[in-house]
Chains A and B, each alone.
Chain A
Amino acid sequence: MIALIGAAGIGLLLALTLVRLHAGPTLHDRALAANSVVSKGALICAALAASAGRAEFVDAAFALALGGFVLNAAVLKVFRAGTFQAPLARGEDG
C-alpha cells in the first residue's frame, strides 16, 4: 500500500519534471530533465514491483536506469562533438 502511494508521489514529481523538459531554455537543461524523467520511470517500475511482489518489474527498472544513462551519455557526446561522426583520432585540443 505504501509502495503504491510512493509510486503516485513519484508520478506527481514526474509531471513537474515534464514542465522543465518543455520549458528548459538550453539543450543541456532538456537533456538533464529527460534523464530525470527516465530515472523517475525506473523508480515507478521499482515501486510497482515492490507492491505486486513480482521480480520482473525490477528487471524493467534496471533496463530503464541503464538505458537512460547510456542514452544520455551518447546525447551529451553528440552535443559536444556537434556531429554524429566524430573523428576517431584525438585532436590537439583533446
Chain B
Amino acid sequence: MLQLALSVIGGGLIVAGLMLMAGGTLGLLRFPDFYTRLHAVRVADGLGAVVFILGLAAVSGDVGVALRLLVLAALVAALGPTMSQLAANAAHAAGLAPLAGDYRAPRPGARGERSS
C-alpha cells in the first residue's frame, strides 16, 4: 500500500518536473536575448530539476538511494540561483545590454523581419 502510494506520488512528481523543464528548455530556445533566456532556464529549469529528483527519490525502492537523491535535490536547489546570479553579473559586467522596448516574437518561417 505504501509502495503503491509512493509510486503514484513519485510518478506525478516526475511528470510535473519534466513539464517544468520542457517549458524552461523551450524558453532557452525561443527567447530573444541572454537575460530572458537566463530567466527561463534558471527559474523553470531549476525548479523542474528539484521536483524531478524528489520524484526519483520517491520511486526508487532503496532507502540509501532515496536519501542520496534527497541530498542531491538540496544541492541542485542551492547551486541553481547561485549560478544564475554569477551568470547575470558576469554578462552585465561584460557590457551585454538587455533588449529594451517593444518586441514581437518572429513568426516561424518569416526570417529576419523585426518589428520596430
Contacts and interface: CB of A to CB of B under 8 A. Distances in A.
Interface string A68-92: 0100110011011000000000000
Contacts, number: 126
* Contact residues of B: prevailing secondary structure: helix
A13 B48 CA distance: 12
Contact of A46 (B22, B25, B72, B86): B72
A26 B87 CA distance: 13
A76 B28 contact: no
* Contact residues of A: prevailing secondary structure: helix
A17 B25 contact: yes
Interface residues of B, number: 44
A76 B87 contact: yes
B83 A69 contact: yes
Given A26-B34, A80-B90, A58 B79 contact: no
Given A28-B90, A55-B68, A13 B25 contact: yes
Interface of B: 7, 10-11, 14, 17-18, 21-22, 25-26, 28-29, 34, 37-38, 41, 45, 49, 52-53, 55-57, 59-62, 64-65, 68-69, 72, 75-76, 79, 82-83, 86-87, 90-91, 93-94, 96
25 contacts: A3-B60, A5-B14, A9-B21, A13-B21, A16-B28, A26-B34, A28-B90, A32-B28, A33-B28, A35-B83, A39-B49, A39-B76, A42-B72, A43-B52, A47-B56, A50-B69, A53-B65, A55-B62, A55-B64, A61-B72, A62-B75, A65-B75, A65-B79, A69-B82, A79-B90
